[in-house]
Amino acid sequence: MSLPSIQTLYDVTEATWPHAGAWNEGGFTIRDGQGGGKRVSAATLAGPLAEAKIETAEAAMRNLQQPLLFMLRAGEEDLDAELDARGYEVIDPVNIYAAKADALARDDIPRTIAIPAWEPLRIMEEIWAAGGIGPARIEVMRRACTPKTGIVSRFNDQPAGTSFMAMSQGISMVHALEILPGHRRSGLGRWAMHRAGQWTLKNGGHTVSVICTQANDAANGLYQSLGMSLIGAYHYRIKPE
C-alpha cells in the first residue's frame, strides 16, 4: 500500500483535530473553532472559486468573532492570489509528513519513556499549557475521532513531554507534540514517534502522519530523520486588523 495522498491527509487532519461546528456559506466551509487555533477556525473553499463569495465568508467569520482567516490547500492557487490581492498575508506555512506504521514501530521502546494514556492526565495538561496549548485545544482533542490516545514522555524518571494522536481511515496523525525545554535533545520526540507507529499497528492502522510548521527546523529535521515522506503542505492567509 502506498502512502496517502495530500487530499486524504487533509481529511485525516479534519477528523483528528476537529472544529466545534461547520457549515457552508458563500461557497466556503466556515468553522467555529471556539478558540482552538487556526486549524479549526480557518475557512476553506467548498466549491468552484467562480461561485464563491469571499465577502460572505468574511461576514460569517466576523459573526463568530474570529479572525478573517483562510486555509489554502494544494490546487487553490487562484484563491491564494485573490486573497493576496485583497491584502491577506501568508501565515504559518505547514508541512504534512507520513510514513508506514511498521517502518516507525519498534519493540524495544523503554516501557516508561512513551506511555499511552487517555483521558489526558493533569501532568499532560500542564506540559501542554507550558507550550501554549491550553484548554481550548484540549477540547479539540476531546472532540477528535476514535481511536485516540495521548502519550506521556518520561526521562530520568520525570515527566518530560506529551503528545496526542487519533486515527481516521487507518491513518493516525500526531498532534501537539511538546517536550519540556530541559529535556529536549534527549530523543523523546523520536521515541514518541516510534510509539505512534506501534500504537497505530495495534489499533488496526497502517500509516502515521504528522503536521508541523515549515519554520520549525527541529521538528522537520526529526520527521525527515525518521524517514517520513513530505506529502504536501498548506498555509493560511489572514487579514490584518
What is the rounded distance in angstroms from the CA atom of residue 228 to the CA atom of residue 222?
9
Q: Could you tell me which of 217, 195, 216, 6 has the C-alpha nearest to residue 97? A: 6
pTM for this one? 0.96
Report yes or no: 87 and 240 within 8 Å, Cβ to Cβ: yes
pLDDT given for residue 157 in this prediction:
87
pLDDT given for residue 112 in this prediction:
86
Collect the ranges in the chain with pLDDT lower than 70.
Answer: none
Beta strands in 56-170 (DSSP E): 69-72, 89-100, 114-117, 148-155, 158-168
Enumerate the β-bridge partners of residue 57: none
Domain ranges, ordered by start, for the chain: 18-94, 97-233
Helix, strand, coil shares, percent, the chain, to 5: 35, 30, 30
Helix (H) or strand (E) holding 231: strand 229-238
Report yes or no: 9 and 97 within 8 Å, Cβ to Cβ: no
Fold of 97-233: Aminopeptidase (3.40.630)
Q: Which amino acid is at 107?
A: D
Per-residue pLDDT of 152-208, as tens digits, reads: 999 988 999 999 999 999 999 999 999 999 999 899 999 999 999 999 999 999 999
Residue with cell 493560511: 236
pLDDT given for residue 241 in this prediction:
80
How would you list the strands of the sheet with 158-168, edge to edge? 69-72, 229-238, 89-100, 207-213, 171-179, 158-168, 148-155, 114-117
Pull the grid cell for residue 111. Answer: 516501557
